Structure 1
C-alpha cells in the first residue's frame, strides 16, 4: 500500500496567515513553495485570517508577492465574518461605527451596511478590528455608541499578533478599552468562535478541510469547535511547552515544524506498552513526571511526548513543571 502524505486526505487547506505563511511582511521560509505544491496537486487554498485590517485584495497581493498562489477570492477574513454577523442583526443600510481599517469598512459595504466614524451618525452597531494608528478618538466614539445601546462586535479576540519584530498587541487587547469603559463584552466573529469558520465553509464549499495554524487558542480551538482536523506549525506563536500543556480543545491532530510537512508521510504515533512511541522516541508518565527516551528528530520526540502527556492529563492540563525539564534536556536540540 502506498504511504500517503499528510495532505492526501484533504481537499482544502484553511490556512492562518500570520505565523504560518508569513511573519510581518516576510514569508515563513519554505511556506510559498509548499503552498504552490499543494495547489498544483488540486488542493484548494483558503487563507483564513483573524486580521481585519486589510482587504482580501491587499492580502492576496501580499501573498502573491511572496510567491504564494492567491486571489482575493481565496482570502477569508474576520472582517468578512464580522460584517455578515452584523448584517444578520441590523436593518439593510444601517450605520455601523467602524473602529478599524479599510478591510473592515470594505466588508461592511459588501453587506450593504454604511461605515461611519462618530457616535453622532446614528450607529446601531460598533465593529472593532486591529488597524495601524488606531486612535484614542475613534475608540472613544466606539465607547460612546456602545453606551448608547449599539451592538458591539469584535472582528477577533487575539491578545497578540506575531510579527518579524516579535508579538505585538492584537485586537483582543485593544477591545478591552471599549469593554472596560462600557462594561459591555463584544460578540467575537473571529477564531475560535464559529462565525469565521462558517464564513470559510460557505465560501469554499469544502468537504474535507484541514485547518493549519500557529495558535492553540484560536486556530486549533477553532478547528475543534468546527469538528475538523488541524495541523499546528511551530513557526509562529505556539511553543513545544504550550503544546504539551494544552487542554483538550487546544490539542491539534498533527504537529509539524512548517508547511513542508504537508508533502511528507506523517510519522505514526503508536501505543508502546504503557507509553507512546514515534520513530526513535518513546514517552511515558512515571510517578507524575514525563519520561522521554530516544534519539533522532526532536519533533518526533515531541509528538510522542504530546500523546503520553495528553493521555495522562485527560480532560485537564499537564503541569508545566512536570514536562518542562524534559523539554530542556531530552529535546534540547529544539524542533527543526
Structure 2
C-alpha cells in the first residue's frame, strides 16, 4: 500500500452520505472535491444510504448542488434494498402496503410491485420506512396486515436519525409499534444487514468495493457483514473513544480524518515488539492501559493507538476508562490532537 494511494486498490466506493459527504444540507469540507478526483481516477461512486424517505433522484440533485458527481443511478437506498428483498419473495404485481414515504413507493414500483395503503387490499407484504407524516392510521393498517400473515420488512433499523435539532426517533424506533402490536419482528434491509450493500454491489458490478462511513454500528458493521474493506472518516458520528473501545464487528480496515485520505498512501500501523508505530507515533498496551507517545499527524497517532488497543482487547473491547487518560490529554473541542 505504501507505493500507491488508498483508492488505487478499489474499483468502487460505497459511500454513506450524512457525516461523510454532507452534514445536513451542507457539504463536508473537501468531500465533493475528493469525490470528483476519485471519479476522475476511474473509481465508480455509489451513494449508499439507510434513508428510505427520499428518492434517488432527489438525493442525486442534492449531491450535485453540493458539487459531488452524482446521478440518480449512483444512489442506492434502503428502500431499493427492501423492494428487491420483497420482490424476490413474491410475484410480480403483488400488493405491498407502504408504511412510509415516496422513496419506498418508487422503489417498489421499479420492481414491478403495487404499493397500497390499507390492509383491505390484502397486501402480501408490509414495508416500513421513516416519513415525517407517518400516522397512527397507517401504522394500524400495517399491524392489521402483518397479523394476517403479510411479510414484514423494515427499510432500516436505525433507532435514531441525526437532524439539525438533535437526534430524532428513527425507523427502528417506529417499527417497534408494529412489532410490539403483532409479535412479529421485521426483516431489516438497511445497514448493517447485508441486503443494502448487496444491492449496491449488484447495481455497480463491483468486484473490489470499499465501504466509506462515519458510523461503526451501521457502516463498519455492514462492511464486516458483507465481507469487504471499510474506511471510517472522522467527519461524522464516530470519534476516537468510539474507535478505541470498538469490538471486532465495529473495527474499520482504515481510519482517516476525511475523504482526502483516499488520494494519499495509507500509513498502516506496524508492530515492533510490544509497540505499534505509525508515522512518528508509538502506542502500547501496558499495565491495563494505553500509552501513546510521539507527534505529527494526530490521525496517525489514533491509528497506532487503535492497533495496540484492539490487539490487547482481542475478541472483546477495551474499557473506556483504560483509554480516557490518553484521550483527555489529546482531545480538544472534540477532535483528536
**Distance in 2 of aligned mates of 1:207 and 1:313:** 32
TM-score, normalised by the number of residues in structure 2 = 0.96
Render the CA deviation track for 1:284-329: whole Å, top value 9, x for unaligned. 1111111111222221111111000100010111111111221111
Question: Paired residues, what number?
Answer: 336
Partner of 1:140: 140
* SS of match in other structure, 1:7: helix
Tell me by how many angstroms 1:101 deviates: 0.8
Check conservation: 1:293, 1:330, Cα contact below 8 A. Answer: no
Pick which of 208-217 and 265-274 moved more. 265-274
CA drift of 1:2 comes to: 7.5
Contact 1:257/1:335, CA 8 A, preserved across alignment: no
Q: Is it true that 1:199 corresponds to 2:199 in the alignment?
A: yes
Q: CA deviation at 1:160?
A: 2.0
User: TM (normalized to structure 1)?
Assistant: 0.96
Q: Could you tell me which residue of structure 2 aligns to residue 210 of structure 1?
A: 210
Q: 1:80 to 1:119 in 2, by over 3 A?
A: same
Distance, in Å, in 1 between the alignment partners of 2:238 and 2:35 is 21
Q: Deviations over 1:93-134 (max 9, x none)?
A: 111110111110000011111111111121111101112222
Aligned to 1:66: 66
1:7-60 deviation digits (Å, cap 9, x = unpaired): 111111010111111122211111111111111111110111111111111111
Give distance in 2, aligned partners of 1:234 and 1:185.
33
In structure 2, the partner of 1:105 is 105
The corresponding residue for 1:297 is: 297
Gaps of at least 5 residues in structure 1 are none
CA-to-aligned-CA distance 1:133-185 (integer Å, 9 cap, x gap) = 22222112111211221110001111222334433322112111211222111
The aligned residue for residue 313 of structure 2 is 313
Matches within 5 A, 1:105-184: 105-184=105-184
Name the counterpart of 1:335.
Answer: 336
Contact 1:215/1:237 (CA < 8 Å) preserved in 2?
A: yes
Provide the rounded CA distance (Å) in 2 between the counterparts of 1:275 and 1:2.
20
Residue 332 of structure 1 and its aligned partner are, at CA, apart by: 4.3
Rounded to whole Å, the distance in 1 between the matches of 2:188 and 2:268 is: 37
**Which residue of structure 2 lines up, in the alignment, with residue 19 of structure 1?**
19
Q: Counterparts of 1:38 and 1:335 in 2: how far apart (Å)?
A: 26
Provide the residue aligned with 2:4 in structure 1: 4
Runs (5+) with no aligned partner, structure 2: none
> Is the counterpart of residue 220 in structure 1 residue 220 in structure 2?
yes
Q: Equivalences for 1:35-54 in 2 at 5 Å?
A: 35-54=35-54
Deviation at 1:268, TM superposition (A): 2.7
Indicate if the aligned counterparts of 1:96 and 1:115 stay in contact, CA closer than 8 A: yes
Offset at residue 212 of structure 1 (A)? 0.3
- Deviation at residue 79 of structure 1 after TM alignment: 0.6
Question: Matches of 1:174 and 1:246 in 2, distance apart?
Answer: 27
Match of 2:252 in 1: 252
Taking the aligned partners of 1:326 and 1:60, their CA distance within structure 2 comes to: 41
Q: Which position in structure 1 is the counterpart of 2:229?
A: 229
Give the secondary-structure state (helix, strand or coil) at the position aligned to 2:8: coil
Offset of residue 330 of structure 1: 3.5
